Structure 1
């Protein structure tokens, strides 16, 4: 991708109030391991420094930019940033690809912020040669509402949300789990001990074995997964609730028409109201809402998204060329005292180059 074009994009972002930032390529690994999704954890380039601290080549810009924002003052203050440069992930075009994008923190005018960010993403895509992309919308808040309506232990609901976020199935809802027969004794012991005692036992065992992380998961996370699987073994979701959730996840319709189906399945809810308000704001700003398609399963494979999610793709479909969304919980996950509004996007420039060929 030519430097002049990258400069043109960054100049446009800066003119819109998104200050250019540069963050180091070598980053502490812990923040990424804490908040990124399972897929991206497994694709990170990890190493150790002389003191044994785990480092990584930055796999994205959002987390380093969020950390820079936190280091600069009050987390909830309004500030917007832009960036361009390489990120590093196993299996991605030889391991190194160029991203360009923006992040906006602290804006209380949520709809205006989402509208501006999506508008900038579409403008940047047009500058890169994609003037009429396919626009896929999702909404983690709607998924949250649909899953929370299921009568099941909180641990099972968390497991369902992860399955949905990363393209899994809902087989964990069908029957009592029997795929862990070889660990039946362990699970029975965990259930008898109770969640808190079970968590302590697992963490102690891992510590005694000298295990500090497995696949990017900390001992606490590993313990939590065991406890969730243990609780899920004895939980059964009714066929009616299972079908209602599957029907919601099957929604795939033009965004302006999706609302009726959402309300049919979820009823009146704050998340449904917010969806309608978002589409109205996009339309009022002149964004191409008729080209937008809502799919309940659309997601970024990142744990930190918690509201709007969008993807831009070629008109014929295929893998996303870029995407973004809302992640109000990220700053708190990285150490802030309170959540703060946050929304942004990134485009993968190598994928645009493939489109141009």
Structure 2
């Protein structure tokens, strides 16, 4: 959990303003949920490993005897917890307010979440998530809208060239089934497959054997991973998808993915399958660890870094746990803490920011009158008493985002100050 100095806070708010603007331009509406949710909801088995990282809140009024009696059962000690993501609270929000929401609801959530991580570069215990979600639409249009809005947001932040790796949990399940893995061993198999880009085909096969996975299935999977493949390039579309999957992939899943590609191509200025404008890449081994994904899954990539900048997927079963009936839902989250450091510095196009450097003897009334005049004209204004080291004062103001300054002496008439650039 971190503090932010003024310059860094201003940078973060500038990036957040761009994200909000682009999300709203694509028809999403911002909501807000409490920072805490009920313990049972946060630990319902749908949050994956994040549930283990949740900060739980001790029940009020417990005495030492009650705490000792319930020491082995956290659910008896706590009734609330800090949210570890924004998707579980959104599902509860939608189930609570469905009658007041449109049939297809497009939500923005931009807020901090908390996880008891081991702090390291890129991993924090408090961090901001920027989510957009669509509830009530089971068609490929929902994924297409999310991807188009996310790529547009990346462009608006000056990070053109982003791509989206995409897969479908149904394709993963079908692939594992075709190799011969049993349904009960899929979760462990997926954990190992998720390491493919780090340990390679041989490492994946070795770990699966070490885990005791079905031997015949491991052999078939290893053979598929190491099969000879032709080098011709296929852009995102049916040919690319079928080439990267074994045998005869399910037509429904392939059609769903192809439909997403065609819609995103149109949104990005392309016209059909095969257009080089489609920034999608089919990855049959993209897993994403959240247990609530039921269909399409995706991750946001950028050529400037070797890690993902966000991700999401379809979670059609989650809202039904709170509502009693299934509602289709899909979401995409930008990793704000990763993106904010990549965004280029401001180009100076913001409103004027002026430092009024005044002598000690200037009356307060005169200072406030000068300041009010600049504020009324649309400028941001800071008062600074002149110091012996004027250069250091001005350098600090420039670091805080101020662009100009004016010297103020006692008796100066309003509107008479000479404004000079800081640069």
TM-score w.r.t. the length of structure 2 is 0.61
Aligned to 1:128: 157
Aligned residues: 297
Aligned to 2:327: 340
3-state DSSP of counterpart to 1:320: coil
3-state DSSP of counterpart to 2:325: coil
Q: Does the C-alpha gap of structure 1 residues 267 and 319 become closer, same or farther in structure 2, counting only changes over 3 Å?
A: closer
For residues 133 and 335 of structure 2, what CA distance do their matches in structure 1 show? 15
For residues 268 and 262 of structure 2, what CA distance do their matches in structure 1 show? 10
Aligned to 1:35: 46
3-state DSSP of counterpart to 2:312: strand
By how many angstroms is 1:82 displaced? 0.6
By how many angstroms is 1:93 displaced? 4.5
By how many angstroms is 1:115 displaced? 0.9
List gaps (5 residues or longer) in structure 2. 1-10, 63-76, 270-275, 345-423
Instruction: Using the TM superposition, name which of 53-62 and 68-77 deviates more.
Output: 68-77
For residues 95 and 144 of structure 2, what CA distance do their matches in structure 1 show? 24
What pairs up with 1:319-338 in 2 under 5 angstroms? 319-332=307-320, 334-338=321-325
The answer (yes or no) to whether the contact 2:171–2:249 under 8 Å persists in 1 is no
The answer (yes or no) to whether the contact 1:174–1:237 under 8 Å persists in 2 is no
What pairs up with 1:86-235 in 2 under 5 angstroms? 86-89=112-115, 90=117, 91=119, 93-108=123-138, 110-164=139-193, 169=204, 171=206, 173-174=208-209, 177=212, 235=214
The answer (yes or no) to whether the contact 1:145–1:266 under 8 Å persists in 2 is no
Structure ranking higher on relative contact order (CA contacts 8 Å, 6+ apart): 1
Aligned to 1:307: 295
By how many angstroms is 1:255 displaced? 2.9
By how many angstroms is 1:71 displaced? 0.9
The answer (yes or no) to whether the contact 1:147–1:161 under 8 Å persists in 2 is no
Q: Does the C-alpha gap of structure 1 residues 113 and 142 become closer, same or farther in structure 2, counting only changes over 3 Å?
A: same
Q: Does the C-alpha gap of structure 1 residues 53 and 43 become closer, same or farther in structure 2, counting only changes over 3 Å?
A: closer
Q: Report Cα offsets for 1:257-289 as digits up to 9, x if no partner.
A: 522313553445322232223222322333675
By how many angstroms is 1:12 displaced? 3.8
What pairs up with 1:223-302 in 2 under 5 angstroms? 235-238=214-217, 241-243=220-222, 246=225, 255-256=236-237, 258-262=240-244, 264-286=246-268, 290-302=278-290
The answer to whether the aligner puts 1:356 opposite 2:391 as a matched pair is no
The answer to whether the aligner puts 1:20 opposite 2:30 as a matched pair is yes
For residues 162 and 292 of structure 1, what CA distance do their matches in structure 2 show? 24
By how many angstroms is 1:299 displaced? 3.3
For residues 217 and 287 of structure 2, what CA distance do their matches in structure 1 show? 26
By how many angstroms is 1:87 displaced? 1.5
Q: CA RMSD in A?
A: 3.3
List gaps (5 residues or longer) in structure 1. 178-231
1:49 to 35, 40, 59: 59
Query: Which of 1 and 2 has greater Rg?
Result: 2
Larger relative helix fraction: 1
Q: Report Cα offsets for 1:184-233 as digits up to 9, x if no partner.
A: xxxxxxxxxxxxxxxxxxxxxxxxxxxxxxxxxxxxxxxxxxxxxxxx6x
Runs of 4+ off more than 6 Å: 250-253
